[in-house]
Every structure is written in C-alpha cells, then in structure tokens.
Chain A
Amino acid sequence: MKITVLDASMTDARFADNVRQQIQNISNDEGHEVAVFTLKELCVAPCCGYFRCWINSPGTCVIQDTVNKIVDSIVNSDCWVFITNVTFGGYSSELKKVIDRLPPLMLPHFMRVNGEVHHRPRYRKIPNLLVFGYAESEDKESENIFQAIVARNSVNFHMNKAVAKVFLKDKDKNFISQKVREAFDEVGAIS
C-alpha cells in the first residue's frame, strides 16, 4: 500500500512527530510505502481560482511548484493522511493551500452521489483518507465541524473510507499511537 502524508502541523511539532512515528511503525510492520511532505518546509502558492487545471491543461495545475509533486504522489496512493491544527473547526491555512490546489484530481463533468451533484473523479484509484487534527483545548463544536468537513471531503474526492481523529494538547505518545493504529485499522491498512 502507498501512503502520502501531508504534515501541516504548525504549532506542536511533538504531536506531528508522534503521529508520523506511528505511521512509520505501522508501515514498517505492514510493508507500506510512505511519502511525507512537511508543508512548513515547502513553498506553496495559493490557487488562483481560474480553473485553468480544467480548461488550459486538463489535469495539471498551471502553477509550477511542489504541489505538482504532491499531486503525483497522492494520485498514486491508496491512503492520504493529513496532519493539521484544528483551525476554527477546519484545516490550517497551510494544509488548505494544498487542498485548494487539488481540483485537477476531479473532472469538470458532474455526477450525482447520494442525490447530490458532485464532480466526477479523474483517476480510477479510490483512496482512503485519514485526518489527524490537533486541538489546543476541548471544543465539541469545533470537533463536530472538523468531522463534517472530512466527511464532505470524502464525498467530493470519492474516497473509499474517511476517518478523522482530533487530539488534545495534553495527550501522551501512547494515546496518540493507539488512536493512529485504530484509524489505520478502520480503513483496512492493518492486516
């Protein structure tokens, strides 16, 4: 199995390190191949909003930067992993900058999913999505929004399964490791 990790943690490197360490442990045990992109180390331009990735160069973003490498990796992955600060219930701006650049993964054509209009997927591979969020303090409303966004993303990206976990600042390494393992188990990434 191929896994692409987008690490967008900005405030707590320890949390991201723990999640990444556990992903590496699981991958070593299961023989998964992992590609990690640490977003704070990369220079990513924001989407310019003109849908040139559908019109001028179908399937390719016209902005030439690291995102093209990220897209190449995730298109060929069975599992996408996002690590982010929970920001007003959503993703951090660094992660959102990359997600905003993912429309080339979809076609401009429409289809109905559960009675709703969505864009058709461009690629045949149907991946899983795991999102690990880090929150400074407990906020049920924020967590509910986070879960809702991940669920909506999974429909828009035509995911097989999507799992979102929110962790609090004070959680220790063992707790995080256990939850990461559970999430991987939920999407069938552990035999």
Chain B
Amino acid sequence: MNKKVLLLCGSPKDGKRSACAVIGERFLIQLRRKNFSAEMRSIGRLIKTEDGVEKLDALICRSDIIVFISPVYLDTVPSSVTRLMELSIRKKYFTGTQKILAAVSVCGYPESFHNDTALMVYKQFAHEAGLRWAGGIAIGQGPAYVYAQSIFRILGIYRKMDRAFDVAAQAFDEDTDIPEGAACITRRSIIPDRVYTFVAILIVRLLSAKCGAWNLCKRPYERSAS
C-alpha cells in the first residue's frame, strides 16, 4: 500500500500567493513521482474552527508522514504552527503511532540559516510528541519563489529544489532520514544577496506607491517626549 504524506502549510496567506504553497506544490510533484499519496493542507484555515480541527485530526490520523512546510516569522515557527503543535499534544494525535515528521522551513532573508532555530523547534516537537524526526530542509529568499516564478521556470532554477525534494522523497521511501546533502542543495542562495535585497525593496516601493504610501519610514507610534 502507498504511504500517505500530509504536507501542512503554515503560511497564513491564501492560495498561490504564498511561497510555501509554491514550494509545497514542487514537493508534492516529487512525492507523487515516487508513488506516495500526498496532499497539502493549510493549517491556518483548519485550526480556525472546531470542525477544521476535527478534519485535521482525521488527516493526521491516516497519514504515515507529516511534513510541515512553513515560513519563519521572527526566528521561529508562526503562531498557527505552534498552536497546532500544542493541540496535537493536548489531544494526543500522535500517541502510540509510528509516524515520521519532517519540515521545510522558508524564510524571507537571503540567507537560509535564518531557518535554523525554527528547524530546532520542529525537531523538539517531534521528540516531545513521540514522532521520528526525519530532518529539515531550509530555504532562503522565499518571496522570490512567488514574484519570480516565470523567470525561475525559464532559467531552470527549480531544478535544484526538485533535486532536494527528490532526495527527501527517496529517504521517505526507504524509511531513512533526509540526507544532509538534500538540505545543502537548498541552503545555497539562488540569487546573490545584494541583488535579492535590491529587488525586494524595489518591489516593496512599487507596491506601496500603488497604494499611495510614499513614506515607508514613518514612525506612527513614536512619542516626541520619549
């Protein structure tokens, strides 16, 4: 029987505008190529309601491998992911199971090491929940995967990421940990840091100008007396 993989997307954004959703779709392709039955669900949407939590419980229950694919917000996992982790311990989602946990952490900074503390949290969660930790993949320059999708496709930039996901899928298939090599593939910057930061701020300026916000450096809460 095919193993079931559940990708839990921690981005609060809806649909295709999230880097995690774009990257998650690439992972799904590689998983399905290895004959896994794989699906991706949004954590934020599911944990909003009791009904959603029940659905999540059922989804987790029938999965063999759980993969968090989530952005890093201020050095660690977003609140919705922490909330799900707290719930899963309280409701004993994983008690007595032999499930595997892995994580793909995506940050907006050019360097991927900003994901390291978030990956430590996932690993600690696996330990406390009694799951087998299979490893983590760190990806920097997350927004580039949304704003430069067409260019990346033309230049074949997704190939590197696909290779990493292929190695991870192979590891799941063989019941082994994700090799360090897979994590290393995505750790290297795809765009030079200076080019990335220059383009990022240019995009922010263009988007804010469209909204009529010209001064990006406002200090609305600063009190002159302080």
Measuring CB to CB, which residues of chain A are less than 8 angstroms from any residue of chain B? 2, 46-51, 54-60, 71-72, 75-76, 87-94, 96-97, 99-100, 102-103, 107-110, 116-118, 122-125, 141-142, 145, 148-149, 152-153, 156
A176 to chain B, nearest CB (A): 24
In the A-B complex, the 5 residue pairs with the smallest Cβ-Cβ separation, listed nearest first, are A96-B79, A152-B75, A93-B83, A93-B82, A97-B79
Which B residues lie at the A interface, using CB under 8 A? Answer: 11-13, 17-18, 44, 71, 73-80, 82-83, 85-86, 109-111, 113-114, 117, 120-122, 124-125, 127-128, 193, 197, 200-201, 204, 207-208, 211, 213, 215-223, 226
Contact status A117-B222, CB under 8 Å: no
Q: Are A88 and B110 in contact (CB under 8 A)?
A: no
Query: In the complex, how many angstroms separate the beta carbon of B143 from the nearest chain A beta carbon?
Result: 9
26 CB-based A-B contacts, threshold 8 Å:
A2-B226, A47-B73, A49-B11, A55-B211, A58-B213, A59-B221, A75-B222, A76-B226, A88-B82, A88-B121, A90-B82, A92-B86, A93-B79, A94-B79, A99-B74, A99-B79, A100-B73, A100-B74, A108-B200, A108-B204, A110-B197, A110-B200, A116-B109, A116-B114, A117-B197, A124-B219
Least CB distance, A179 to chain B, in whole angstroms:
23
With A91-B82, A109-B216 as known contacts, state yes or no: A76 contacts B204, CB within 8 Å. no
B117-A148 in contact (CB<8A): yes
Question: Which one of A71, A116, A142, A156 contacts B221 once the chains associate, using CB atoms below 8 Å?
Answer: A71
Q: CB < 8 Å: which of B74, B82, B125, B204 contacts A153?
A: B74
Closest chain-A Cβ to B192's Cβ sits at a distance in Å of 12
Report yes or no: A122 in contact with B217, Cβ–Cβ below 8 A: yes
Complex CA–CA separation, A94 to B79 (angstroms): 7
Q: How far is the CA of A91 from the CA of B154 in the complex (A)?
A: 41
Task: Provide the residues of chain B in CB contact with A55, threshold 8 Å.
Answer: 204, 207-208, 211, 213
